Structure 1
């Protein structure tokens, strides 16, 4: 199969965002402002592999139809623009807005390019006073520099009330497997407050942290969720995204779901598939909703996937909620935001004590099988088309399922399959590369 076999007019996904003709990876700067969702992302504007990293930009009003925008923050000869976040500075704490203006402020990792003669990763600001259309780098950059080569991916949010709150940044010391908490009153001067980790999966570097509160469904209780991506060392091999649940007092996160086990299966994962990484949530989402999106790929083989002219896609946006299980433990549930048409959505139920096998296929016999039952959900992509483009493209992934009847929803959008089981408490995302659309469905 050649690159052209999965070109823009065949299997480019509809609801999973892709850059027009270039490479993308981690979502950045997710933000809702004045009715518009802003998706920034790691992008090489000059090619289809990782390279001149900049912040690409897309916008949406419904989270499923995305409009390409010009590059937001471009690389320079001395600086790659790595992952980060964006906030609405309604209080003008940073002083970037003039009277009558509101500044959107991006906090990103400034990574020294090879041509710069340096190797450091520091934190920098850029701001926009025209609703995210154009961005200006802060002249006082960097605003946080500890002299490290592995210090990146700041997620910033406001904590507390209007008059007594402060900015919080969670950021990783990647090779130390630590999430560091910093605080600030103005987004410019930052004070280290605490750290979390190492904990649970540490088989690769920690990246792309996120920290946010969730109300426990059906109660008045609120817990805090810390997201940490890991590469490699994920549950399915290669990239993965784990989470911790606990409490946060504005300076220190304390996890409640820690275990001494050394088994990956005993940790909490946002997604058990091969292709879900760097998931972060939108700041300022309306109605208090917690909306997340991840990169639907895996660093093991992302640079080699046989698609053209784009390479890599985002996951669907997922609404995240928190529940308390009968055993007292907390569980995250994820519900995909689906378009009204344009993709395939299938549902089936695996009755208690039985195994159900669903197949999505095409007229060429290419297929993916989804098996639910016997305490496990298995997605097998070994016969779904091209699978020899990289030796680390693995054929199957598995996730634990509870006893009892289990509902399963399968979303098929071009080369991306997302599977949501047990009310979205178990999720798997997989890339597949068939010659044509998987438009058939059956259950046995």
Structure 2
């Protein structure tokens, strides 16, 4: 597999990406912002990350003319948050990404915060050029002194492109939507086409009020308020709601049974601490979203619905116009509790794997399930695997003999805990076992755990949570796990996507052993396949 953070070889990009340094052995001596030596041993191979500098929320997700566009919050100047602009990457397959020039840069009037992009094929906005319909970005302007707004005010603005997203022009009459009185927490517009009504929908948030505001427009410029959703779910003091996304999905694959899903990213207060993604399922009548099966007020966090139960999955959004009616999501793989301390250089920030979403009835209730995007699955399934049909482990740890331990690994296995107290898999382990990351099932508790307390570099932040646990019943005494292990991350897809746990890990050099283990009893493992993802 080619490196996922491919670089555009035009001269302007060569300078900003330091492509020469990235392609030579002297990379270890490169420094960025005095953050320390380069840490290429932790640069993801199967997850997108920019060549250098800070990245956070994905923005402007769209499939257009056969290309997936990933825009994202980006600091063009440093590897810490600031100078918010839109970075840009493209892919034809959701796996191999090519970094593009900065799409929209912060300027003397505004910083460019999160937003979305739609293809205005009907030219409702009138922004087409020479008959070519525009891609229209709706984003949050954060105004600066001298802009005509109080410094820090947030409002929604437009920019448009008629060259497939390469260059963007700001709409002359920005902003197109602001609150009265103006707010410093009104942000993150997600726009989509509502076919039954023949109009555009926008969801945006008043972050500190725990409210998603829903608007409609016939032209992407003039917006009419429809309704508010919230507060609901996790909405305590200090919690911010961000990056909403409202979309339909067929229940259990039945197109005649659509339901609506609302993603709301929250920080802090998630199930794993700090940042996370809660979701709601219900109905939408073109004006109001009504969530069903809400937990009672004050319910434990485990009673709420989470798109991911790990610490490092935030700002999730979905791609507009994905082919075949798919709903594909991607998220920032980090956590605001420690994002500015993640020990990577000269870049800081990565994206999780793109995932296919589906709505499935589980225990009588509609729930989101997430699986790696089918393009990723097709690619790894074509890689030769080390296989074991069945192994039994009794109160010990059994190493797996792998020909290639240094590459990122895609691991499939079925765990039957049987009489063991705990059973699972150890990854990214030192030869003596002193450092390791463990994924295991606790038979008595009925829970799945990712334990990164000894995963390598863990002292860069006191807020780095160590164990992430989710209740998950066995199916006929077994559980299927897919573990995607990259250079600095772990994504565990359990029970065919019913539960996902995503965590950053920073193993030491040479920590590449993989083992199965059982504690205090016998466990059986079957259908084991380990594929090196080159």
TM over 0.5: yes
2:512 and 2:244 map into 1 onto residues whose CA distance is 36
Q: How does 1:22-101 map to 2 (within 5 A)?
A: 22-101=53-132
Query: Which of 1, 4, 7 is residue 39 of structure 2 equivalent to?
Result: 7
Which residue of structure 2 lines up, in the alignment, with residue 357 of structure 1? 424
Query: Which of 480, 483, 491 is residue 418 of structure 1 equivalent to?
Result: 491
2:288 and 2:321 map into 1 onto residues whose CA distance is 22
Q: How does 1:301-340 map to 2 (within 5 A)?
A: 301-325=338-362, 327-337=363-373, 338=376, 339-340=379-380
Q: Which runs of 5+ in 1 are unaligned?
A: none
Deviating more after overlay: 134-143 vs 194-203:
194-203
Which residue of structure 1 lines up, in the alignment, with residue 183 of structure 2? 148
Which residue of structure 1 lines up, in the alignment, with residue 318 of structure 2? 281
Deviation at 1:282, TM superposition (A): 0.2
Deviating more after overlay: 224-233 vs 367-376:
367-376
Which residue of structure 2 lines up, in the alignment, with residue 378 of structure 1? 449
Confirm whether residue 391 of structure 1 aligns to residue 462 of structure 2: yes
Change in CA separation of 1:425 and 1:115 when aligned onto 2, cut-off 3 Å: farther
The answer as to whether partners of 1:350 and 1:373 remain within 8 angstroms in 2 is no
The answer as to whether partners of 1:86 and 1:156 remain within 8 angstroms in 2 is yes
Which residue of structure 1 lines up, in the alignment, with residue 213 of structure 2? 180
The answer as to whether partners of 1:24 and 1:42 remain within 8 angstroms in 2 is yes
Deviation at 1:382, TM superposition (A): 1.0
2:339 and 2:80 map into 1 onto residues whose CA distance is 9
Q: Secondary structure at the match of 2:347?
A: coil
Deviation at 1:77, TM superposition (A): 1.5
Change in CA separation of 1:92 and 1:415 when aligned onto 2, cut-off 3 Å: same
Change in CA separation of 1:53 and 1:182 when aligned onto 2, cut-off 3 Å: same
Q: C-alpha deviations, 1:303-333, integer Å up to 9, x for none?
A: 01101111010000000011112x3201211
Query: Which of 280, 291, 297 is residue 334 of structure 2 equivalent to?
Result: 297
Q: Secondary structure at the match of 1:386?
A: coil
Q: C-alpha deviations, 1:411-435, integer Å up to 9, x for none?
A: 0111011011011110010001112
Confirm whether residue 343 of structure 1 aligns to residue 375 of structure 2: no
Deviation at 1:436, TM superposition (A): 2.7
RMSD of Structure 2 on Structure 1 (CA):
1.8
1:245 and 1:356 map into 2 onto residues whose CA distance is 33
Structure 2 length-normalised TM = 0.80
The answer as to whether partners of 2:417 and 2:423 remain within 8 angstroms in 1 is no
Change in CA separation of 1:6 and 1:403 when aligned onto 2, cut-off 3 Å: farther
Equivalent residues, number: 440
Q: Secondary structure at the match of 1:93?
A: coil
Q: Secondary structure at the match of 2:42?
A: coil
Q: C-alpha deviations, 1:173-198, integer Å up to 9, x for none?
A: 10000111000000000011001100
Q: Secondary structure at the match of 2:263?
A: strand
The answer as to whether partners of 2:451 and 2:466 remain within 8 angstroms in 1 is yes
Which residue of structure 1 lines up, in the alignment, with residue 507 of structure 2? 434
Change in CA separation of 1:401 and 1:114 when aligned onto 2, cut-off 3 Å: farther
Change in CA separation of 1:333 and 1:257 when aligned onto 2, cut-off 3 Å: same
Which residue of structure 1 lines up, in the alignment, with residue 389 of structure 2? none
Q: Which runs of 5+ in 2 are unaligned?
A: 1-30, 384-406, 518-534
Change in CA separation of 1:6 and 1:429 when aligned onto 2, cut-off 3 Å: farther
Deviation at 1:4, TM superposition (A): 5.5
1:112 and 1:226 map into 2 onto residues whose CA distance is 28
Q: Secondary structure at the match of 1:221?
A: strand
Deviation at 1:443, TM superposition (A): 1.3
2:428 and 2:305 map into 1 onto residues whose CA distance is 31
The answer as to whether partners of 1:22 and 1:310 remain within 8 angstroms in 2 is yes
Deviation at 1:5, TM superposition (A): 6.4
Deviation at 1:207, TM superposition (A): 0.2
1:112 and 1:438 map into 2 onto residues whose CA distance is 47
Query: Which of 252, 255, 261 is residue 217 of structure 1 equivalent to?
Result: 252
Confirm whether residue 267 of structure 1 aligns to residue 304 of structure 2: yes
Which residue of structure 2 lines up, in the alignment, with residue 255 of structure 1? 291
2:126 and 2:408 map into 1 onto residues whose CA distance is 45
2:417 and 2:324 map into 1 onto residues whose CA distance is 36
